[in-house]
Amino acid sequence: MLYYQSLEFAEPNLSLDSDDLQRRFYLRSRQLHPDRFARASNAEQQAALEASSVLNDAYRTLRNPVLRAEYFLKHHGFDIGEQRSKDVAPDLLEEVFELNMALEELKMGDESVREQIDHARGRFEHLRQGIDQQLEELFGRYDRQPEPGLLVGIRGLLNRRRYISNLIETATMAPSTDKS
Amino acid sequence: MSTFQIDFGSAKKPRILGIDLGTTNSLGAYMGLTGPQIVPGADQQNLVPSVVYFAEDGSTVVGFPAVEKLKTDPARTVYSAKRLMGKGLADVRTELPLLSYGVDEAKSASVVHLAIGVTPPEVGARVLKQIKDNAEAHLGEEITQAVVTVPAYFNDAQRQATKDAGRIAGLEILRLVNEPTAAALAYGLDKRNQGIIAVYDFGGGTFDISILKLHDGIFEVLATNGDTHLGGDDIDQLLLRVALEDIQSEWQLDLSSDVVAVQSLRRAVIDAKHELSTKPFVNLEFAWQGRRYQRELTRGVFDQLIAPIVNRTLEPCRACLKDAGVTVEQIDEVVLVGGSTRIPLVRSAVENLFRARPHTELNPDEVVALGAAVQAGILAGEVTDALLLDVTPLSLGIETMGGVVSKLIHRNSTIPASATEQFTTAVDGQRNVLIHVLQGERELVKDCRSLARFDLKDIDPVPAGLARIEVKFMIDANGILNVSAKDIRTGKQQSVEVKPSYGLTDDQVEAMILESIEKAEADFNERQVREARVEADAILAATDKAKANDAWLDLSDEERSAVNDAVNQLLLVYHSDQHSLILEKIEALNQATMSLAENMMNTAVRGALKGTKI
């Protein structure tokens, strides 16, 4: 996988240590950045531009566990990104319905529901943290024993995470009457 | 076997100049043996005011002498041109009433054209040229390459316009560096080797905030934000308006349409602003047609007046912290850059926000130029431990169906950054695909800034939807977009024609370069003519003096008339603009006076022998 190669990983792991990643990024930047080739030939300058843009892209993607997993899945033949918020998680249906009701009421000017919305957001954030922990665990298991079934599980978690993130964003973007 | 060591490094490489091209002042710096050094100006003043006077005859005056011209000929004296860089008429409409020079509205749709017939990049070029000349005079070597700083929040068109200014000035701009990042470089070289730094850059015309992570010589910008239309200029303008209103109520006279009076009052309020940075109050004085206006301005009132402007800098700071993913508590150091950070209210606002005492050890007017010199040193290979990893300040996207922008490269992405996108045709045999590229954070095309339209030309005529053109969008280390395209089916490079929405076309820049070369030739020719006339003056004066000498009478009639002839010939060509003609006649006079000079020598010798005074 190109991004892992760019950062000189011997093998592409799903679990990465962020300090190690940063160390690799800085080291490779010192080698590849166009500043190092300011007086080189046009061809070398062009190559440096290409290589460092890939490197920057790689670092941006791999340091974020979600983007990293999506990149990884894509390279294993999974279709990522199309199942937006359509797949409502059945266990969340009731809570989503209540959140939407509360948001409607807030829009009508009922400030009393704000507490309820904040509470819902807190709960969704808690759920997301749980997913992140589960992802970390699955990453580790796959790195030790790469069974394709684990990737299916990871994809499921990613979809659920995306759905919950949308809910958190909706709750956060609730029309504010300036609480600050 | 013996080995030979050849030190290719010993061949002297040309120096790269660092230049801070500011809204109000500009400054050059270079990498010396002990670190970055400021380029001194010819008049012992280092700062070069970014002011250019364009005389009727096409000649120009740059810097302090041009500032003087603001008082006498404001319509031909251009200041704050950086605020117009890379902009069209619609962008600058609100600024027009504030400028003492006019804009040619008919020509200014995509590039502002000043009424005196120049564009902002040409004004910038004059300032860059002045600094180049100063550096060449100081260092005694030719300078052809430079690193130039720009506000971090400059968009593509503004960056391109700055590069154009360099080309017109005869400077190859090897790198555009963001001003706050340059300041961090100047500060960070020998300071801490790890930490998170906020750079608050409040200059004459722009405001930038950048948050960087420092790690063993790597300067990684985490996020940047700002306002390219907020600076000390706005404070000047506010004070000017208040003073004009005050004068009107006192004198029952509206001076606002009198450009000369306004310029002189502007100078007075700027001086007052500067003084208020160190004094608790100041006397604002203004004289006009025998009348005197005087008003005491306390710092308290001044602070009240400018508070809204200062507060406008705080929201970008908060947004930048959020984008960088750091909290106020994580900021280890705050660096202040730009003249406006001398204002005590600005300092206390920054202190309150970041809860840290800001760094002010380096002169805020010089720190950006010093950082540009460090970056020049990095490019030249003289500085090897430091490396700058900067970001693009604005997201880049393309127009899709329904006037919606699809983001390809997000803001605060480390540059160089690239994205590829596939395009196809909608109609059988379609030969062209037009891609509209925009910059900005909003969702709709109408709310983003159009960057350019790229025309994919000469596509193989195939049924609709069959063509596969892969377009690569690359933001280089200068923050400037480059686009290339490939036909995936044939593997051939696809031709792309760029139609920038704002800014000069390549042809226009070429024409300006040619013009500046012609100007340079004209300047050179004029200097030669002047030198020839000085020589002519000398020989004419000497001949006149010799005619009073006894030796003149010792000449034959022919010799005397030959000399008179030669004098007349020289006087005839004296005002010619061909220096060679003047030199030719000088030589002729030289020949004609040869025996006169000999006679004078002999007379002198005889006189000396006799012991008499000549």
pLDDT for position B1: 34
Cα B228 to Cα B148: distance, rounded to the nearest angstrom: 17
pLDDT for position B67: 92
Contact predicate A54/A31, CB 8 Å:
no
The closest CB to that of A29, out of B375, B389, B418, belongs to: B389
Cα A172 to Cα A169: distance, rounded to the nearest angstrom: 5
Residue whose structure tokens are 């950062």: A7
Per-residue CA distances from A82 to B69, B424, B510 (Å): 64, 21, 48
Cα A11 to Cα A107: distance, rounded to the nearest angstrom: 51
Instruction: Provide the shortest C-alpha distance from residue B135 to chain A (in Å).
Output: 21
Clarify whether B201 is annotated catalytic: yes
Cα A116 to Cα B327: distance, rounded to the nearest angstrom: 27
Amino acid residing at B75: A
Instruction: Give the residue from B320, B356, B313, B311 showing the smallest Cα distance to B338.
Output: B313
pLDDT for position B473: 92
Task: Provide the CATH topology of domain A2-63.
Answer: Helix Hairpins (1.10.287)
Q: Are strands B449-456 and B25-31 parallel, antiparallel or unpaired?
A: unpaired
The closest CB to that of A60, out of B380, B414, B476, belongs to: B414
Cα B76 to Cα B99: distance, rounded to the nearest angstrom: 11
pTM of the prediction?
0.80
Residues in chain B within 8 Å Cβ distance of A50? 418
Q: Which residues contact B103 (CB under 8 A, 6 or more apart)?
A: B89, B92, B96, B112, B113, B114, B115
B450 has which bridge partners? B438
Residues of chain A scoring pLDDT < 70: 80-88, 174-180
Buried (b) or exposed (e) across B428-444, using 16+ Cβ within 10 A? Answer: eebeebebbbbbbeeee
User: Which among B69, B73, B82, B399 is annotated as catalytic?
Assistant: B82
Residues of chain B scoring pLDDT < 70: 1-12, 189-192, 516-524, 527, 604-614
B78 has which bridge partners? B52
pLDDT for position B433: 87
pLDDT digit string, tens, across residues B94-115: 888 778 898 998 888 888 999 9
Clarify whether B523 is annotated catalytic: no
pLDDT for position B607: 59
Residues in chain A within 8 Å Cβ distance of B379? 35, 38-39
Instruction: Provide the shortest C-alpha distance from residue B366 to chain A (in Å).
Output: 23
The ranges assigned to domains in chain A are: 2-63, 85-172
Q: Are strands B481-487 and B469-475 parallel, antiparallel or unpaired?
A: antiparallel
For testing the chain B interface, which of A49, A55, A62, A67 should be mutated: the one with the most B CBs within 10 Å? A49
Contact predicate B483/B472, CB 8 Å:
yes
Q: According to the 3-state scheme, what is the secondary structure of B578-589?
A: CHHHHHHHHHHH
Contact predicate B467/B422, CB 8 Å:
no
Cα B226 to Cα B200: distance, rounded to the nearest angstrom: 10
User: DSSP of B461-482, one letter per residue?
Assistant: --STTT--EEEEEEE-TTS-EE
Buried (b) or exposed (e) across B472-502, using 16+ Cβ within 10 A? Answer: ebbbbbbbbbeebbbbeeeeeebebeeebbb
The backbone torsions φ and ψ at residue B493, rounded to the nearest 5 degrees and listed phi first, read: -65, 130
Buried (b) or exposed (e) across A72-109, using 16+ Cβ within 10 A? Answer: bbeeeebeeeeeeeeeeeeebeeebeebeebbebbeee
Which ranges constitute the DSSP H helices of B73-152? 89-92, 120-139
Contact predicate A98/A171, CB 8 Å:
no
Peptide bond into B416 cis (omega under 30): yes
Cα A126 to Cα A164: distance, rounded to the nearest angstrom: 10
Cα B218 to Cα B152: distance, rounded to the nearest angstrom: 18
The backbone torsions φ and ψ at residue B407, rounded to the nearest 5 degrees and listed phi first, read: -75, 135
Q: Which residues contact B190 (CB under 8 A, 6 or more apart)?
A: none
Contact B414 A39 (CB under 8 A): no
pLDDT digit string, tens, across residues B478-511: 999 998 888 888 888 877 887 777 777 777 777 7
Cα A134 to Cα A153: distance, rounded to the nearest angstrom: 10
DSSP letter assigned to residue B338: S
Strand ranges for B102-236 from DSSP E: 145-150, 172-178, 194-202, 207-215, 218-227
Cα B491 to Cα A78: distance, rounded to the nearest angstrom: 27
Clarify whether B20 is annotated catalytic: yes
Q: Which residues of A touch B (CB under 8 A)?
A: 22, 26, 29-30, 33-36, 38-39, 49-50, 52-54, 56-57, 59-60
